[in-house]
Amino acid sequence: MENSLSPQGKLLAALIAVLGIVLAAPHTPFTAGAVFALVILLAIIVQVPVFKLLLRSLVVVPVAGMISLFYPLRFVASWHAVGIAEAYVNHWQGMVALILTPWLCVLVMMLLVMSTEQADLIYALGRLRLPRALLLLLSFMYRYVDVMRAQLQAAHRSLLSRAPALGPYRRVLLYGNLAGSMLIRAYDRGERIHAAMLSRGYTGVLPRLHEQRIHVADIALIAVSMLFSIALIGYH
Amino acid sequence: MHIPDGMLDTKTFTTLWVGAAGGLGYAGHWIRKHFDQSKIVLMAVLAALIFGLQMLNFPIAGGTSGHFGGGALAGLLLGTWPGVVVMAAVLLVQALFFGDGGITTLGANIVNMGIIGALVAPFVYQLFQRVSSSSLSKILGAALGAFLAVVLSSAVVAIELWASGSAQFFAALTAMVSWHTLIGIGEAIITGGIIAYIVKVRPQILDDGEQTTKRSFRSVCVVLGALALLATGLSFLASSFPDGLEFVYFDMGVGTAAIPETTIVPALMPDYVLPGIANETLAGVAAGVIGAIVTGAFLWAVISVLARKRRQDDKRTEN
């Protein structure tokens, strides 16, 4: 299934599903469970490791959890310990709903990311008419971010090995120099890359190695995603 | 600071999407006009670098840590509009590949961290440059700019959460601003450190950024000011404390405990849904569409006026 679907079809279906989840805000065990079950079922079909998917989706929980803490405070009748505690007791379901929606959305997006190559997703964004300059930036980030991270880690390692006794705040100051030297390298690299690209016939448009068109299976996936979203919204 | 999906209501995220799209559209136009291909490639490499630099963690308090954002740095090095595009690319990758920030809230995140970050830092830096063009003034301007960009962005996030009904205003504002004051100090130290290094090693990079900022500064101020006014107006248009999740609580039978809020102005779209549409979600979507149309029209008008003024300026220069 993974190979028969185009990345733009999968991306579109995922975006529709996320929009449906946000608009419906599934909060009952039935609807939230239905979304969860569907994502897990799809993960099993496309052979994405379910535990890893669940683990990666948890990235949103601390942020959503922190924001949800502010929600019950809207309902505080008196700003004393008892009043505040009452608001939390009466509105804990709201806090759960505020965490549930983003978590289900991230679950959908992580399923997409874990079942599709990053390069294919960037290609899919191009097919969905993302502006050319933005696409170029994404392509470069995909190409160079690992190179730069490796360089940064090497520099960081040498900083730690040469100055192991530095306190955390002094180290933060040194990060500036470290990042600054990376920046100068990036400027030089940018010039070199551009010269190399021009010498290979770059005209401002990145070439596409292979075209992937939308097929019946993609349309079916998008339709299912759309119907599921409409059903969710209609149910609520 | 990255707002996840589901935290903003339809009206707020649609309005901010239109604002971000307007800002990005103008940035694209600006870049096509002022940047050649080699500069665009440089932008792309810098975007990759900023993404890589976000692995720089710094200690905050209680054993927690913050990480480098980069919006201010992008604005300082490339100028405001190219900085906005770089940050939009970084935020898009974070939302799409890492679940850091939502898809429906990407517009909001672009406005908060991209546009505000890339506007505030160069603005403060320029103010310092007017006083003195010494190395110290450059470093202090960049550091303070980065700090203020982070703090202001966090305040705007709190306002957006409040306008969506996801948070109590003063609690969210106090918590967000105090926490991001600490994060802002880390951002300021790293940004100041980078600028100090560049001032020593290759100062002409900063001069390029300054020239770019000077050219785009007025238009950024007008567009951002217009956006802020419009967003505030829309919040009050709905109700003083709109609540996108109210139906959830009434559905669960706990909504009756809600405290009635004082309405500052009578709501045209009470609870930011359109009267006459039975389904709560569809009514919310319709309200969002109206918000988007109003924002789009407003932005279009502002950008048209700016473009006309620029044409007049160009003509005057030619004469």
Nearest to A110 among B99, B175, B241 (CB): B99
What percentage of residues in chain A have a pLDDT greater than 70? 92
Residue B235 is predicted with a pLDDT of: 52
Residue A226 has pLDDT above 70, yes or no: yes
Taking domain B10-216, whether its CATH number is 1.10.260.40 is answered by no
Residue type, A185: R
Helix (H) or strand (E) holding B59: strand B57-59
Residues 19-78 of A with CB under 8 A from B: 19, 21-25, 27-28, 56-57, 59-60, 63-64, 67-68, 70-71, 73-77
Predicted complex ipTM: 0.85
Is there a contact between B272 and B287 (Cβ–Cβ < 8 Å)? yes
Half-sphere exposure of B41 (CA within 13 A, CB side): 20
Q: What is the pLDDT of residues B261-272, one digit of tens each?
A: 333 334 444 444
A158 touches chain B (CB under 8 A): no
Write a three-state SS string for B248-303.
Answer: HHHHHCCHHHCCCCCCCCCCCCHHHCCCCCCCHHHHHHHHHHHHHHHHHHHHHHHH
- pLDDT given for residue B312 in this prediction: 67
Domain boundary assignment for chain A? 7-124+211-235, 131-199
Residue B99: pLDDT over 80: yes
Which of B241, B245, B281 has the CB atom closest to A94's CB atom? B245
Task: Give residue A15's pLDDT.
Answer: 93
Higher pLDDT, A65 or B289: A65
Confidence of residue B221 (pLDDT cuts 50, 70, 90): low
> Within a 13 Å sphere around the CA of A12, how many CA atoms are in the beta-carbon half?
22
Domain boundaries, chain B: 10-216
pLDDT at B149: 93
User: How does pLDDT run across B133-164, given as a tens digit for each residue?
Assistant: 888 899 999 999 999 999 999 999 998 888 88
CB atoms A176 and B281 under 8 Å: no
Q: Average pLDDT in the A13-28 region?
A: 89
- Which of B37, B99, B249 is nearest residue A109 as measured by Cβ atoms? B99
Highest mean pLDDT among B8-12, B46-50, B269-273, B280-284: B8-12
Closest CA to B102 of B4, B14, B20: B4
Q: What pLDDT is stored for residue B201 in this prediction?
A: 81
pLDDT averaged over every residue in chain B? 74
Over residues A9-16, the mean pLDDT reads: 92
Segment B43-61 shows an average pLDDT of 73
Each residue's pLDDT tens digit, B171-216: 889 888 988 898 898 889 888 888 888 888 888 777 766 666 555 5
Highest-confidence segment of A100-104, B11-15, B200-204, B313-317: A100-104
Distance from CA of A174 to the nearest CA of B (A): 7
Report the gap between the CA of A216 and the closest CA in chain B (Å): 25
Q: Is the pLDDT of residue A51 over 60?
A: yes
C-alpha distance from B146 to closest chain A C-alpha (Å): 13
